[in-house]
Structure 1
Amino acid sequence: MGAQVRADPAPRPVDVTGGAGGFEAHTEELDVLARRFGGVAGDCLGSSMTLHGYLVDGAVTASAPFDPVGWAQFEAELVGALDGLHGLSWVGLRCGALDGELRAAAAAYRAVDHLGRALHDEVLGLVRVPRALVAAGRELARTHDPLAAAQAGIAADPGVVDHVVDQLGLPALIAGASAVLPDGHGVARPLGTDAVGPAGRPPRRLTDVVGDLAQRNDDTHDGAIDVRIITLPGGGRRVIVDITGTKSWSPGPTSDITSLTTNGRALVGRSTAYEQGVLSAMHRAGVRPDDDVMLVGHSEGGMVAVTTARDAVRTGRFHVTHVITAGSPIGRTAGELPRSVKVLALENARDVVPHLDGTANPDRPNVTTVTSARGDGTVEGDHSLDTAYHRVALDAQASGNASVRDFLVGADDYFRGTHVTTHVYQVVRHY
């Protein structure tokens, strides 16, 4: 059970990408600067065209017979000011050129970043495939069980799935299917409050957050979530919302909100009925638009947490500041989040699920991905909150990495509560 998880006394080193200590080309700033130069270019060239009209203005031309020297001097000086070196026309053309150069540079940075991520997946995929095949072959020879062989191949290196997913074009197929599958709308049914175990204690550290998510994940209700209202010293509030993962593998219409329909839509960034239910539960629990909110999700729940944060902030409905995901494929969606939303993505190096979107998480200042090797070597165990992700959270918590520390320091208020009220809901789908 989630409440019975015990922390591993020996944290392990982690691999970290993104976050405050990561690297990123700020192409948005280049685009803004380019537009400014473009605006200056337009102003300068427009003014230059207007001023050129004075060269042939009737009043000016009529004065030539009376003062030919003065007229000639005026014409020469105006032409020089407009069309000479560093003249107004020159400045306009130069600013226009800088506009184009900056736009081209921003596009090149984006293209290189996209190509680098694609090549990263392709190259690593080619390296990983033989290793996975060898592990699968050995298990098949030993057990003569194809399922056991497949599991051994995946456990040997789950990253091979990135390559397979891309080669099969699965994201495009999923995007097409998710557009036509009926999703209905989500409804939040209140199940009361929970004061048992982690649900009854304000969290003090990252492992406490994952522990409460594990407890909610063990709920017998499919689509169980909770909204935790945390009271701070002095009377302030923070809110943590726990969003559980897949319980139903049905691809067809079902009231179970955690079904494959939600998975497919959330994987490619579409809003879902599950998201609607989460937002409804937050409203019913009394979350205010100015409350700072952290969304926490496992697997499918992490994907839904990302799209919910994106839509809640864009609409101004709720003020989501932080998102924590555990074992969630969010490489295609995390980049859509506003930069004000900080993400900590926990990934088990042995877990296949974070690779199901076929792409790595973006390296952005607001997206920190922490990876360590945990679990028990089975597909289920390597994805479990109890056997894998509680310990990945322990490893992240103990890490001195700058990006991880920056996230945890920024989220410190969520760990300073004096009291917590945990409202539990079941999100169901209606058609």
Structure 2
Amino acid sequence: MKLLKLVGVMALITSGTVSAESTAPNASVDAHFDTNPVITLGPRPAFLVNDMDEGPLKEKLKACIGMPMRASDFSIGHRGASLMFPEHTRESYIAAAQMGAGIVECDVTFTKDKALVCRHSQNDLHMTTDILAHPELAAKCTVPFTPAVPSKGKKANVECRTSDLTLKEFKQLKGKMDGANPMATTVEAYMKGTPGWRTDLYASRGTLMTHAESIELLKSLGVKMTPELKVPKVSMPFDGFSQADYAQKMIDEYKAAGVSAENVFPQSFNLDDVTYWIENEPTFGEQAVYLDARVYKQRNWKSSLKEMKALSEKGVKYISPPQFALLSLNKAGDIVASDYAEHAKQADINVISWTLERSGSLANGGGWYYQSVKDAINNDGDVLTVLDVLANDVGVVGVFSDWPATTTFYANCVGL
């Protein structure tokens, strides 16, 4: 994977952004968003740099504040720019491209009529859309809303799947920030669950997208694409739709859109999906990404060079675990590459990390994504220290981020 690229023709203007006219000659404009992105990072990178512990890395990054920025394949928009925009929406994808993400993710699942759509999970509509505000659609949910009973400590219960709706019904929904109030006694209160470290400021528009629509949008934005084939929550085959059909249909939509395989990084937590693409769609399988959940789903699992080489022998060239699997602390308490990272390097497998900027404040150790190095994490600026170790010691080729401005800034500053 090339670590740096400029979307379209490289032309910088003195304000430190990329000329809109120069980046994607076939771009379109809608009433609210220019789909021909100008690279603009906002104040967060400078905020993070200024929050770092003193040292050479801070001085190096500080010198880059305000410099012209180019889009970078190192910077991957996780569900778009989902820190502040409703995930997997048109608005979130455009924001990610405007922050210089060279690659943007659509998580792929399917509706009742087997249309492929962009959602993080087949059963998250009650968390990420306004389905509960549509009584006629909410009534179709696998588990209709049942209010919480706070006096008994009983949480609200609801589960709404994309497979509960036809595509026409799905398109009636609007994306919202991921979250819910589990102790809510009303639908309205349940829907108001956005974590405090996110915002609803940009949630007034949340245009849901089919997979095919996301392809056309991302083409117009001049970015590469990394679709994740989500694990179905329904039994497969679903009304005759097999897992192989599902994996093939996702690739077919790129072929129908005329997207070159070199611009697509298909992902799955299911190794069988990855090997299916390697065997049946070898040009797309060349960049297929195995999302590795073994590190947290299998108790006492430990990485080994033997297992990593076995993946390589199956044709797996990209692997992507959560970032804590790639990091460790040495005896001095410094963040370093983990055994897992070293094994991947020795097996000649490219590594992609997830997910940066998905933890809120890092003042108390950073939570789940930082669990292997929590003792070294105590301020928000530490996100850049982690990023530096991932890039230099681990040697990742890309990093998923909920706010790609951070990864774009780092990639440009260090000249990856």
Q: TM-score, normalised by structure 2?
A: 0.30
Q: Normalized per residue, which structure has more helix?
A: 1
Larger Rg: 1
Task: Tell me the TM-score normalised to structure 1 length.
Answer: 0.29
